Each structure stands twice: as structure tokens, then as C-alpha cells.
Amino acid sequence: MADTANVIIRPPIAWALAALAGIALDRLMRLPFVPAEVPAGKVGAMVFAVALTLAVCAIATMIRSGSNVPTNRPTTTIVETGPYRFSRNPIYLSMMLGHVGLAIAFNSLWLLLTLVPFAFVIRFGVIAREEAYLERKFGDVYGRYRSRVRRWL
């Protein structure tokens, strides 16, 4: 058996597909959801910036720990510092937050709705497989980490 979580799709690809689907649906039938008095572009950009900052911090923390970021490469250690002190999945959390930021910035309910299938795929096709892999590979070390740190927040 390969030393990976064997996820069903690489998360950045799933994110891009969800975003592209939302944008395509929005082009077919516009569904705005942000009230007109709200500066959607600015608010969405701020949310996206927070998401991007979280992603960069999480990736840098993972790299500094000596572990691999891509899901198709082996995990070498359980990372418990930086944003991993608060969330076992800060990169996926940042992807979801970034998706919300895009939905607000584009004022597209479609983009917001495509977050649902994306979250489902990430939770059950990626995270569930990663958790099983980490449990097999790291046993009690991962079990203790999992008991201390929540999956999302």
C-alpha cells in the first residue's frame, strides 16, 4: 500500500472545479445575494485575504516541520504548531473561507452554493481518508492530537 492518504481528488483541483462551476452558473443565471449597500468587492476581498493568509501560514508551518503539503506525498510528522494548534485542517478551512470570499466579492449565490459539494468532497473524500491514514501511520500520537484539536475550529 502506498504511503499516502489516497484521497479521491487533490484539494486544489476540487476547489478550482467548485469555483469554476459557481462562476459558470452565475454567467448562466445571475443570483446576487449581497445587499446593494454592502461593498461586496471590498468585503469579499478582505475575507479572501484572511483565507489566503491562513493558507500561507499553514503551508509554511507544514514545510518548516519537514512534512509534505501535497496529499499525494507521504506525511512525515504530525504538525501541532501554528494554525494546527487550533484546527487539524487549516488549509481546507482557508479554501472554504476563500470560496466564501469569492462568493461575496462576485456577489454570487451560485459560488456560495458550490461550497456545499466542495465541502462534502473535502470532508468525506479527503479528510476521512487522511484521518484513517494518519491513524494507521502515527497511531496514538495522532489520536492524542485529534483528541486535543478540533477538525475545523
- pLDDT digit string, tens, across residues 105-147: 999 999 999 999 999 999 999 999 999 999 999 999 999 999 9
Q: Is the pLDDT of residue 2 over 90?
A: no
Position 1 pLDDT exceeds 80: no
pLDDT higher than 80, residue 150? yes
- 108: cell is 454570487
Residue 35: exposed, middle, or buried by beta-carbon count in 10 A (0-12, 13-18, 19+)? exposed
The three cell numbers locating residue 132: 484513517
Q: Is the pLDDT of residue 17 over 70?
A: yes
Q: What is the mean pLDDT of the chain?
A: 97
Residue type, 98: G
Residue 7 to residues 22, 47, 111, 112, 118, Cα–Cα distance (Å): 23, 28, 24, 24, 14
Let me know: does 120 contact 21? Beta carbons within 8 Å.
Answer: no
Global pTM exceeds 0.85: yes
C-alpha cell of residue 127: 479528510
- Across residues 59-65, what is the average pLDDT? 97
